[in-house]
Amino acid sequence: MPNISDIETLINNVIALEGDFSNHPADRGGATRWGVTEAVARSHGYVGDMRHFPRQDAAVIYKRKYWHRPGFDQVAKRAPDIAAELFDTGINMGARTASGFLQRALNALNRNGRDYQDISVDRQIGGQTLAALDKFLRGRGAKGEIVLLKALEALQGARYIKLAQTRPANEAFLYGWLANRIG
């Protein structure tokens, strides 16, 4: 992911990657448009045919559900590349999964608690996670953000492979996930 902290740019990039309408038979998400599943669109009040789901509605959902609500906007103030990765991962795997990846990586990179104490992997970005991120970045600097990003991508890649191994229908998506969502 490029160094982007502007949510509008992130949304445009995701929508370009996700594309227009899709209803792939192997996709458990069913009908989607702009990467928003029908279930998510309905939970935000959309009642029409997904083929006509407005792009601006997708942008509102992305901003609310995958940027502000999980606290990725707070991460962006500290580490824009990390926030961009969390945003993309959150859309594809769920914001709680992305948040858990960050917490797991921070715990694994704290040098056995010498830099900061392990944090609870509650899959929510809160004060403890942000404090650990701040301490990590102060201690490791710009190179640390690059390493943390690699750790997040490694966790994401491992999850994609596990998804394909446990549900063979997901093999239809594995190549694209690895090509477009990692790195």
Ordered by where they begin, the domains of the chain are 7-181 (1.20.141.10)
Note whether 101 and 155 are within 8 A (CB). Answer: yes
Tens digit of each residue's pLDDT, the chain (183 residues): 444 459 999 999 999 999 999 999 888 889 999 999 999 999 999 999 999 999 999 999 999 999 999 999 999 999 999 999 999 999 999 999 999 999 999 999 999 999 999 999 999 999 999 999 999 999 999 899 999 999 999 999 999 999 999 988 889 888 988 988 888
Residues 6+ apart with CB under 8 A from 136: 106, 109, 110, 115, 116, 144, 148
Is the whole-model pTM more than 0.85? yes
φ, ψ of residue 153 in degrees (nearest 5): -65, -35
Rounded CA gap, 78 and 115, in Å?
Answer: 17
